Amino acid sequence: MNPLPIRMVVAAALIDRDGRVLLAERPAGKHLAGTWEFPGGKVETGETPEAALIRELREELGIETEASCLAPATFASHAYEHFHLVLMLYVCRKWQGTPHGHDGQRLRWERVNDLFSIDMPPADRPLIGTLAALI
């Protein structure tokens, strides 16, 4: 049996001045559509995780940040049906612009302790406890 391919994904816990965290809804037609994720996406070949996250935040939310504003927080790995996901989460408190869903995806700001009861992708859920202890 072939091992599952590994997919590296980076995501951000964007924290606002009130200590709330931004979640983005996964669009219809995509894997896990309708769940609320820490925004981010795949690390492309040859990219550093930080460069990938800066690009994803620009493409998905229209905001700009820089590597020095991305603090590695925690990671998780999860075996989805067709691939094994390694998800790295960064805390980000400083960016330029106002996040908005570039592809029309809905956004919401939530207190970290409220994330436990939100329908998040299975790879994201194990990150909540560590994030709650950090912020």
Answer yes or no whether residue 30 interacts with ligand C5P by CB under 6 A. Answer: yes
Among 40, 53, 57, 90, binds ligand C5P (CB under 6 A): 40
Question: What SS3 class is residue 133?
Answer: helix
Among 32, 90, 38, smallest CA distance to 61 is for 38
Per-residue binding letters, 58-97, with ligand C5P (x by CB under 6 A): ---------------------------x-x----------
Residue 30 makes CB contacts below 8 A (sequence gap 6+) with none
Answer yes or no whether residue 41 interacts with ligand C5P by CB under 6 A. Answer: yes
Q: Which amino acid is at 66?
A: E
Other CB atoms closer than 10 Å to residue 63's CB: what's the count?
A: 20
Two tokens at 127? 């990150």
Question: Which of the stretches 28-36, 66-74, 98-106, 110-118 binds ligand C5P when contact is defined by CB under 6 A?
Answer: 28-36
Residue found under tokens 């809905």: 106
Consult the annotation and say whether 121 binds a ligand.
Answer: no
What residues form the annotated binding site for Mg(2+)?
40, 60
| Residues in contact with ligand C5P by the rule CB under 6 A | 9, 11, 30-32, 37-38, 40-42, 85, 87, 121, 123-124
